[in-house]
Structure 1
């Protein structure tokens, strides 16, 4: 089979690393998007026909998850009928991007979960390098004051969304420390760079989402390492409040309650249809105008009505269900933390579910895609169990 060839697996593996790391390291967003076409969309489309049995298995093993995704994409497309979107064709193309992105993961699963975890570690390590370069460039080269909010390189330049990306990499690295002493030092350095990026971004929502996830992670990891990380997170949070409370409290609630109330009124005005996919809107709150709802779920409701929001909630809950089924594995535990982190992160700023691949995809479609790998991981564990039981 074509999809089983080594060159095909290398091609797809490179695509996953490109998706993770090039969002920061690519010279421009245009090159990042072109790389996704070359390394993810193109190989997936080329290999899809020969991989028909794999895609059929993906549907059979996770029918609820795939069904909810397809219903959400169908409703999103239907909403273009009443949308005032400037370019409906572009919106349809973005929906196709999402579907092709998710179809990539059953193909990636053929590499084995051990290799997938290695690719995630490589992508996260490259993001740690991007975090270090961002700090040096912003405060060293540009000479910005240390109290200025860090703006990263590439597409992690937005302080909040960039921290969502870096926070994802922290969770991929944190619970898989290397065994070799030299690599352990590099691992600690990578975590330190990403931790510094998060703190210097002053993105309270992103930091809070990451801190809460690490603090409660011992509930499902149940080991000494996660407990140690949890204690360190509590101590670090306490020190931050003690040392820089004025800086933390300076921006208050950033008008989030006022924005939420205004958005609820907007949803009530079009509860069943929403404004339609891709329709531009502004939120007026506290005498100010904001260009989105600063919350993933309410954003979906504004665009696609309550049916769209409920379908996205179904996708998200079915993703959780698949992860919980794999909670006995290290990868399943890491994904459970990633899901909790993403859920919290969505509440504070993310408001792009169907846009082109960007930082928000790290806390929306990436967790869904990674959950689609899990059936093959369970099959690997079952096979290993049978082998060990017969020896």
Structure 2
């Protein structure tokens, strides 16, 4: 009886890691562009990633022990603990159990990516590539609809559950950087199709009319140029300069038509609030309202991830947040001889840069912001765990 139970547990664990989690990860990456509504997107995440990952951890606690030794995951756990402690002085109207679920969802994302990476069949890499391939026809369809129905001043939103051009840019930018990084790291025969795919995603990104992702793409390119440092780096640098000149000369309104969109005023007002409680912040889930008189609108986010972390969790939380990202970027630089770390490093640099003028909420449920925060971090942590396990097996 005991042997039958062990056999069932082993088969279930393998099924979760090799099939359910990869399917869930693909759905997480492309679901916003493919599924009709966000509530379904959340349910798919719960059913195919959160619950299966938790079940796998319970089934094989020893096999998952490597998760809790990864520096990025440790930093995340400490940051999440501090955020939950800060609920004690928050004026939130949400229950503690509701807020507690938020970091748990993200932890299950970390666990899912690590469990896939530990499998011998490269499920994590193949799932990411499959999602990138699925996004190509989805993006092409959205672009065709946008072009055929274009009106002056229109901005691409995309299909599915996407509903905001700025948020959509996170999704298109993520896959643009992914394909661009692959074009820099794969063999010459494979790099050209990847480059064409990157151009397609770049066109969709520009069609959203969002400007910060363009800056983020440039910084991700700088990472690729330095991390790869080859003849392709010179071509990428030259291409970037030429594209910037083309934008300035042909489409200057894309860069300057909307000015700074009140970002400096938002940041200044947020910092003035932070000065009231700089060290501990106002607490996870606290209310935030930044009123802009010229627009007669109150914003609930400072449109800067770091400032959002600073507002909710104070200087202590921001230090933990920066440590988490710094550890992840260090891992990518340390292992840059492995092309997967170079690719994930580009995604992380893009995410950090895109967060300079967008977002502000922390520890959210799955949404576009995950493409520029938690997903790159989870991929890097998973790769680091996989590398340490491989090194341990070889020694």
- So what's the TM-score if we normalise by structure 1? 0.89
- Please say which of residues 241-250 and 327-336 is displaced more in the overlay: 241-250
Contact 1:121/1:173 (<8 A) preserved = no
Q: What RMSD in Å do the two structures reach over aligned CA positions?
A: 2.5
SS at 2:260's partner residue? coil
Q: 1 CA distance for matches of 2:54 and 2:140?
A: 35
Structure 1 residue aligned with 2:178? 172
Deviations 1:304-358 (A, max 9, x none): 2222222211211122222222211001111221221111111011222211111
Report the CA distance shift for 1:171/1:221 in structure 2 as closer, same or farther (over 3 A). same
Q: CA deviation at 1:198?
A: 0.8
SS at 1:284's partner residue? strand
Deviations 1:99-139 (A, max 9, x none): 22222222111235844222211111222322222223334
- Please say which of residues 358-367 and 300-309 is displaced more in the overlay: 300-309
Deviations 1:199-247 (A, max 9, x none): 1111110111112321452111122334323322221111011111134
Structure 2 residue aligned with 1:227? 234
Structure 1 unaligned regions, length at least 5: 387-391
Q: CA deviation at 1:40?
A: 0.4
Structure 2 residue aligned with 1:275? 282
Q: 1 CA distance for matches of 2:223 and 2:100?
A: 39
Report the CA distance shift for 1:157/1:232 in structure 2 as closer, same or farther (over 3 A). farther
Q: 1 CA distance for matches of 2:27 and 2:99?
A: 23
1:343 matched to 2:352: yes
Report the CA distance shift for 1:103/1:65 in structure 2 as closer, same or farther (over 3 A). same
Structure 2 residue aligned with 1:218? 225
1:20 matched to 2:33: no
SS at 2:275's partner residue? helix
Contact 1:283/1:291 (<8 A) preserved = yes
Contact 1:69/1:315 (<8 A) preserved = yes
Report the CA distance shift for 1:234/1:366 in structure 2 as closer, same or farther (over 3 A). same
Q: 2 CA distance for matches of 1:341 and 1:219?
A: 15
Contact 1:323/1:374 (<8 A) preserved = no
Structure 2 residue aligned with 1:261? 268
Structure 2 residue aligned with 1:58? 67
Number of residue-to-residue matches in the alignment: 381
Contact 1:11/1:39 (<8 A) preserved = yes
Deviations 1:145-184 (A, max 9, x none): 1541211223443222211221111222223357797x87
Select 2:156's aligned residue among 150, 156, 166. Answer: 150
Contact 1:351/1:360 (<8 A) preserved = no
Report the CA distance shift for 1:192/1:18 in structure 2 as closer, same or farther (over 3 A). same
Q: CA deviation at 1:42?
A: 1.7
Q: 1 CA distance for matches of 2:322 and 2:16?
A: 37
Structure 2 residue aligned with 1:82? 89
Q: 2 CA distance for matches of 1:189 and 1:43?
A: 36
Report the CA distance shift for 1:113/1:263 in structure 2 as closer, same or farther (over 3 A). farther
Structure 1 residue aligned with 2:339? 330
Q: 2 CA distance for matches of 1:186 and 1:333?
A: 19
Q: 1 CA distance for matches of 2:20 and 2:352?
A: 31
Structure 2 unaligned regions, length at least 5: 1-9
1:370 matched to 2:375: no
Q: 2 CA distance for matches of 1:346 and 1:79?
A: 23
After superposition, where does 1:1-391 map in structure 2 within 5 Å?
1-2=10-11, 5-6=14-15, 8-60=17-69, 62=70, 64-88=71-95, 89-112=97-120, 114-140=122-148, 143-145=149-151, 147-177=153-183, 187-285=194-292, 287-288=294-295, 289-379=298-388, 382=391
Q: CA deviation at 1:262?
A: 1.1
SS at 1:136's partner residue? helix
Q: 1 CA distance for matches of 2:152 and 2:26?
A: 31
Q: 1 CA distance for matches of 2:357 and 2:294?
A: 20
Q: CA deviation at 1:295?
A: 0.2
Report the CA distance shift for 1:379/1:95 in structure 2 as closer, same or farther (over 3 A). closer
Q: 2 CA distance for matches of 1:335 and 1:8?
A: 21
- So what's the TM-score if we normalise by structure 2? 0.88
Contact 2:166/2:208 (<8 A) preserved = yes
Q: 2 CA distance for matches of 1:73 and 1:261?
A: 26
